[in-house]
Amino acid sequence: MTGRTTARAHHSPAAAAFLHKVGPFFAGHEVTGGPLAVATLVALICTNTAFAGTFENFWDTDFTLAFGGSGVSHSLAEWIDHALLPLFFVIIGADVKREIVGGALSRWRTAAFPLAGAIGGMVVPVLLFLAITHGRPEAVGWGTVVTMDTAFGLALIALFSDRLPAGVRALMLAFAAVDDVGGLLVIAFAYTESIDWRGLVVAAGALGGIIGLRRLGWVSSVPYVVLAMVLWGGVFESGVHATIAGVLIGLTVPVTPRLDQGKFAERVQRRIDEFQKAHRTAEESDDQDEAMEAQQKAEDRLGYLQEMTSATNVTSGRVIETLTPWVTYVVLPLFALSNVRIHFSAELLGAVTSPLVLGIVAGLAVGKPLGFMSFTWIASLLGFAERPDKVTWPMVAAIGALAGIGFTISLFIAGLAFGDSEMRETASLGVLIASLVSAAVGYAVLRRDANKVAETGTA
């Protein structure tokens, strides 16, 4: 808490306790789910009032980017899905790489743990969904239960971050990254009518260029930004959902500094001494020419020190820090506003017991935790995987429960599977119910684990 917040806590303990609880949902160094939840509520209100038509028509308005005789035209909602949402996956890719290279998943067995869970978290939900909708038109929507919503899950984990080991968040991130990639592949190959391979070739070339510059030790960020845009454009033009470009870009971001602290200390000490000497000469010399020469030398040494200091920074940290507020307060809320379209009615509420809703709820709220838990347990039993340090099986169960929150990409896939038909709204209702149930269960399990750790030091 800030000093002002700490002071106010003395006057209003109840308010301070409330802000402490809701804070992780709206502020922090990581992507949070509070603004997304508020935007979802606003979208639900707008789509169920007299302003519904105006509200939806706004997001369906075509926006065209044209140059000369050629141009690209999509609705505002589609531009948000393809141009803004990938920024969220850049963060996911960079964060997961950081954990794999030097974090809680740096050993191959601990990295295999979320991989096994992600496979189970995709296979089991789909099987449950198809078991309920088999032979019915609703079966085409099986992709809605493949992937999870990372922002909400991370926000709930952040509520207890001071009482849970860091491996819990790392495990959630890694699981979510593999799970999201699986969802994007489903979009690409199951819900994409045609793929333009020329776009994929362009994207592959841009990706190769980024990797090549990394190997050459290229420092300037301009070529990387240009190649990242080309990579995004190639994926977008290919017909594959552009969010997969975000994951690829995130995975190429460096997670180690160009210069470690030991080498930094060795290289800069002499330049610091030279800077101090030149600066002193510039201030004390009565000879104007000598003073100007010394000042120039001091500025030269200062520039060297600044460049060497920047070399100790980790690029991934800078990228994540820059993108996080934009993703939290702009990208994800805009996605919810443009994609959440559930018109509550007696007919829709009557569909709660329909095979489509039951299939989605079973797939997400039951299949996700069941698949995650069973596959990680089997992989651990066979010696292929290992839980991260200090992460217990109850904590793994909590992550599995949170995985049932399938919001952003689930709603997007529902739109691809059912178009603008009534089944899309029914599917969205199922996703909403499953997400609420999973969030409640995940919160309850996390709270139990966190309280037990606080009381006994073990879960």
More confident residue, 258 or 216: 216
Predicted confidence band at 1 (pLDDT cuts at 50, 70, 90)? very low
Integer Cα distance of 170 and 172 in angstroms? 5
Lowest average pLDDT, out of 229-233, 347-351, 395-399, goes to 347-351
Whether 188 has a pLDDT exceeding 80, the answer reads: no
- Point out the least confidently predicted range of 66-80, 97-111, 122-136: 97-111
What ranges do the domains of the chain cover? 31-55+107-177+338-457, 261-310
Q: Nearest to residue 404, comparing CAs of 444, 356, 371, 428?
A: 371
d(CA 250, CA 212): 16
Contact present, 245 and 203 (Cβ < 8 Å):
yes
Pick the CATH number of 31-55+107-177+338-457 from 3.40.640.10, 1.20.1440.230, 1.20.1530.10, 3.40.50.150: 1.20.1530.10
- Which residue has 């020329």 as its token pair? 198
Instruction: For residues 335 and 293, give the distance between their C-alpha atoms in angstroms, rounded to a whole number.
Output: 57
Lookup result for tokens 């919810």: 336
User: How sure is the predictor about 205, in pLDDT bands with cuts at 50, 70 and 90?
Assistant: very high
Mean pLDDT of the chain: 84
Distance CA 36, CA 152 (A): 8
> Using 50, 70 and 90 to split pLDDT, how confident is the model at 98?
confident
Distance CA 443, CA 402 (A): 8
d(CA 153, CA 403): 7
Predicted pLDDT of residue 359: 97
**Residues 106-136: tens digit of each pLDDT:** 778 888 999 899 999 999 999 999 999 999 9
> Which pTM was predicted?
0.77
Taking only the tens place, the pLDDT of each residue in 282-316 is: 888 777 878 888 888 888 888 877 777 777 777 77
Would you place residue 152 in the very low, low, confident or very high pLDDT band (cuts 50, 70, 90)?
confident
Whether residue 99 is predicted with pLDDT greater than 90 in this model: the reply is no
